[in-house]
Amino acid sequence: MSWLASPLDTDPLFVVISDYLVLRSVPTALAQAMLASGLVTDSADEASTPLGGSRRLLRVVSPSGATSFWESVGQQSALHLDSYSAVVSTAGDSVAGWNPLTEFMVQARSWSAGWWNSNALGGYSVDDLAPATPTPFAGQYSSGSTLLAWGANTEADLAHYRLYRGGLGFVPSPANLVAEPTTTTFTDAAGGPFEYKLTAVDTHGNESAVATVVSDGTVGVGGAPAAIDFLAPPAPQPMRASADARLRFGLARAGHANLSLYDVLGRRVAVLVDADLEAGEHSARLSRAALSPGLYLVRLVTPAFEASRRLIVVE
């Protein structure tokens, strides 16, 4: 809200106006119920200040005889300025199908000469509150398709979600928008694996912060080359005596790659790959025979990418 100062305030030689009260309309039925219950007291002149004393409603009777009620929602000291402003709450939020108008009024007050009410003016809230980030967010990639799932948002004005797809570290934009689902699952058959980003959007277009996931999983025979640098979780997990582990990784561009295995003390146990490789998806096998039960770390290092995955070895 903003308002011009009273003419009795702008001249510092006339110390007449002490402060201003910002008043918000109260529906007549609600005001009468509050008065009947004793929650507030009635006043036919000035409204009470927010500080001290019992709460009072201001009753205003127009020249036509119509009665309105007002409550104080803000106070501003007179500072001999040309205008003032204040941030105040409306009577309700702006949500889908309901955006109520709330009337406001300003009362200029003098400790000795009385009070003066402005004309009433209506306003409504603008929804600028974004939904929460969808969480948890997970993706499972298999044979050219990725199944994505996430937790449902609870906002009453939620409209849909926005799902984006791209390379590692991409920035969401209309150009990489995949879908705008209203449910909490989506299957993307675009190959991959890719990095996905997910947001929630409400009915007024407010978009949440981004949730990010790089899909995990296995690739069928003849799968497409990797679209991004990635290191998939070892499979199977945990690693048992009866099976070797398969380690999948991808390079977005040709270059040198080192894939090594470390124990919990940071000692390198094995070098699985140490070579110049073409762009695309690659894999290596790790034999269980030389490993003791325990926790290990698989680490991939390229000139442009580093990643680690845990490997659990059991009897």
Domains and CATH numbers, the chain: 2-123 (no CATH), 137-218 (2.60.40.10), 230-313 (2.60.40.1930)
10-residue mean pLDDT profile of the chain (315 residues): values are 87 77 88 78 53 64 81 87 88 68 89 82 81 86 83 89 88 94 91 86 90 62 52 82 80 89 88 88 82 88 87 82
> What pLDDT score does 65 carry?
80
Q: Classify residue 296 as exposed, middle or buried by CB count within 10 Å of its CB (0-12, 13-18, 19+).
A: buried
> What pLDDT score does 47 carry?
47
Q: How far apart are CA 168 and CA 249, in angstroms?
A: 14
Residue in the structure block whose two tokens are 């449910």: 183
Residue 114 contacts residue 42 (beta carbons within 8 Å): no
Q: How far apart are CA 87 and CA 76, in angstroms?
A: 11
Residue 241 contacts residue 288 (beta carbons within 8 Å): yes
In 143-179, DSSP assigns E strands to: 145-150, 158-166, 177-179
Q: How far apart are CA 213 and CA 101, in angstroms?
A: 42
> What pLDDT score does 301 carry?
92
> What pLDDT score does 161 carry?
97
> What pLDDT score does 96 carry?
58
Residue in the structure block whose two tokens are 């019992």: 54
Q: b or e along 37-49 (b: 16 or more beta carbons within 10 Å of the residue's beta carbon)?
A: eeebeeeeebbbe
> What pLDDT score does 94 carry?
65
